[in-house]
Structure 1
Amino acid sequence: MVRHRGIGVTDTFWCPPGGGIHFSETAHQALVREFLEETGLAVEAGDLMFVSEFMHPPLHAMELFFQVQILGGDIKLGYDPEMVDGTQIITEVELMTFEQIKSYPQNEVHRLFHYCDSLDDIFTLRGYLSSEMTTNA
């Protein structure tokens, strides 16, 4: 999980690694690059699981969630290359248990976790997650 500042009222927002796609880059290539940039981990992108529309001011994005397998690397605080020194929004990177993620207030974690009561539930999400979904939690 990657912690960002500058999002939400508490200035804390945890979410899976991710980011934008460069022109001529595939979604799988972008995912591999973003994981390495943000976490130091080399991953292999697998099957598409679901799509989520993320609307959390100041961001609005269409997110593609894939299964990933860690191939190597060491987890470390990464960076957002679009941000210059002193304006980095990534403040922390951590491998977390599902229980750790759920211990944060709902407004401090990606909303995909609001729809799940266990880690296994994440792997059952399919299709398009609209911003109007109701939560199980």
Structure 2
Amino acid sequence: MENIHPLAEPYSFKTRVRVCGLLIHNNTLLLARHKAAFTDGSFWIPPGGGLEYGEKVKDCLKREFQEETGLTVEVGRFLYLHEFLRPPLHAIELFFEVKLVSGELQMGSDPEHSLEAQLLEEVRFLSVKDMFALHREELHPVLHGLVNMDDLFIPRFEFAS
């Protein structure tokens, strides 16, 4: 098993439910860059995070968007389910379309980590061309093979094999 980043240890060896939002602006997708769990590099993923016990899925997504990006969003339609499995990380991820309500984009933080020990490194809008320039392992699997932004809105279910 690969060495896991110490900041990712709280998420290891358990199955989590994550909720993620797809926010498109001017043909670009808002992504959050996190410290990669297995390397010294980075990992780009749509903003979102872990569902807390008793929390409604859409409320979780609104909270996570606010925490990570400073943006207030309206949660739209459910798009797809993705099973992320790269031991020791395992998550069932729910992806929704989101629309901007208010706010200015700014990098936030994860309240479960101290300010000195954040996984979040950057938030910004990336084009498909920007994503193609990244190494495959730097990009969340739901974004692999993306040809245009319309591809994001094809409903699908993806389970680990």
TM-score, normalised with respect to structure 1: 0.88
- Counterpart secondary structure, 2:77: strand
Matched residues in 2 for 1:131 and 1:8: separation? 19
Structure with greater strand share of residues: 2
Aligned-pair Cα RMSD in Å: 1.4
Superposed, 1:1-137 pairs within 5 Å as 1-126=31-156, 128-132=157-161
Change (3 A) 1:105 1:84: same
Residue-by-residue CA offset, 1:80-106 (whole Å, 9 max, x unaligned): 111112110001111111221221011
State which drifts further: 78-87 or 51-60.
51-60
Equivalent pairs, count: 131
- Counterpart secondary structure, 1:117: coil
- Check conservation: 1:49, 1:125, Cα contact below 8 A: yes
Aligned residue type for 2:52? H
Aligned residue type for 1:17? P
Amino-acid identity (%): 37
Q: Any stretches of 5+ residues in structure 2 without a counterpart? A: 1-30
Q: Any stretches of 5+ residues in structure 1 without a counterpart? A: 133-137
TM-aligned CA deviation for residue 3 of structure 1? 0.5
Matched residues in 1 for 2:80 and 2:50: separation? 17
- Check conservation: 2:109, 2:115, Cα contact below 8 A: no
